[in-house]
Amino acid sequence: MARNSDVRVRRVYEEADDDDGYRVLVDRIWPRGVTKAKAALDEWCKDVAPSTRLCQWYGHDPTKFSEFSRRYSVELKQIKRGQALDHLRELAVARRLTLLTGTKDSEISEAAVLARILNR
């Protein structure tokens, strides 16, 4: 029987929690004001991040989140992003995975889209 993935989403600005498991930053750009020590990352997987063009179009507008999710899912089929997604999928099989983002509202971020895909 296959084990369901346990993928969570948190803001990188929050304190690390013992329950986080393996912590991966999924933003393309390093979050402002966060040191590597404070981030307490296990990995930075910037290749899975959405394109600059898509991010600029989206602008974290909640009314565009559904369309952003659709467009981002299409981008994840590109070779480089797809390989990064496969890597995250492999990590999620072995342990709890916490996807980190610097976005103010993590529920409408690329991390939320990734978590939804990985938790299927």
pLDDT tens digit sequence for 89-117: 999 998 999 999 999 999 999 999 999 99
Torsion of CA 88, 89, 90, 96, to 10 degrees: 80
Q: What is the pLDDT of residues 41-63, one digit of tens each?
A: 999 999 999 999 999 999 999 99
CB of 26 within 8 A of CB of 84? no
Predicted confidence at residue 101, as pLDDT, reads: 97
Confidence label for 5 from pLDDT (cuts 50, 70 and 90): confident
pLDDT band of 3, cuts 50, 70, 90: low
Q: Evaluate if pTM is beyond 0.85.
A: yes
- Which residues make Cβ contacts (< 8 Å) with residue 82, sequence separation at least 6? 76
% of the chain with per-residue pLDDT over 70: 98
Query: How open is the CA angle 32-77-58, to the nearest 5 degrees?
Result: 45
Decide if pLDDT at 71 tops 90: yes
